[in-house]
Amino acid sequence: MALEFLLNKQNPDGGWPYLHGGSWTEPTVYAVLALLAGGETARWKRGIAWILRTRRSDGGWASRPGVGESSWVTALAALIPEERVGQAAHAGAIEWLLPVQGEDTTAVYRLRQWLLGNSHPIDRNNSGWPWTPGAGAWVGPTAMAVVALEAEHKRRPSARVAARAQAGRNFLMAHMCREGGWNHGSTDAWGYDAPPYPETTGMALLAMDRVRSPGMERALSLGRKFLAETRSADAQNWLRLGLAAQGELPQGYAPPQGIAYRTVPEVALSHIAALGGLA
């Protein structure tokens, strides 16, 4: 059923929409990964052709054709196996990811804060990724960049790649909510402890590479609790992927009945989770 849904949603140009309309990079990558995992050949080839056509000259990808800058979705494109997209496109995605960091973790930002009287030490070993260059770092894009770089390091060991992935994991640990788990970014943006969310908790768990600490134990406990309670398709997908990566998904787990999988990312990620994971 999942593959049939995805095949029916593919646009004539080879890409996929979120639900209806034009093609976007995020749903196209997830659909391609699902079709690759499911063994469907002709359609993923058309999807990869769309991805290669929309690659930007800086090596990254924009959220969709016509958008003028590369963004976080480059991490998703980097998850497509190198043998499917070609060495040049894959290497370009990794090279685009490595130097990008949230504006709030750059030396210039820290200097500006110091000049304003807000003293923050510069820590290049704790830096996340933004949705778009020049913005602040957030949990979602950081998690996916770490997943992509960690997969790259496992295929082709590199101290540079490993160090940048570790800096991203440090960012995630520093932005864990007090009770465990993660929200989208700041833990106290409004002057009080912000609560964690199921979907971002799942994404961060996927990126943490079986790190163990008291904080991670709280995050894993909360992730299992979220999994038992949530009826959101997006949250179920990311929690399944994250807990599976940590070796904490209950054996034979199946999502509760009645969850509505409506969008291309929801259907594709559910299929990928059922078949073992993203990377």
10-residue averages of pLDDT along the chain (279 residues): 94 98 98 92 93 98 97 98 97 98 70 56 75 94 98 97 97 93 74 84 94 91 97 98 95 93 97 87
Q: How many domains does the chain have?
A: 1
Q: Is residue 121 part of a domain?
A: no
Q: Is residue 213 part of a domain?
A: yes
Q: Is residue 113 part of a domain?
A: no
User: What are the tens digits of pLDDT across the range 153-184?
Assistant: 999 999 999 999 999 999 999 999 998 999 99
Provide the sign of the torsion angle of the four alpha carbons 71, 134, 21, 65, taken in this order.
negative
User: What are the tens digits of pLDDT across the range 245-277?
Assistant: 999 999 999 999 999 999 999 999 999 999 988
pTM over 0.75: yes
**Count of all residues that appear for the chain in the document:** 279
In Å, how far from its chain's centre is CA 154? 17
The Cβ of residue 107 has, within 10 Å, a number of other Cβ atoms equal to 10
pLDDT at site 144:
98
Which residue segment(s) compose the domain that 12 sits in? 2-100+144-274
Q: Is residue 231 part of a domain?
A: yes
DSSP label at residue 130 = E
Domain CATH for 263: 1.50.10.20
pLDDT at site 39:
85
pLDDT at site 24:
98
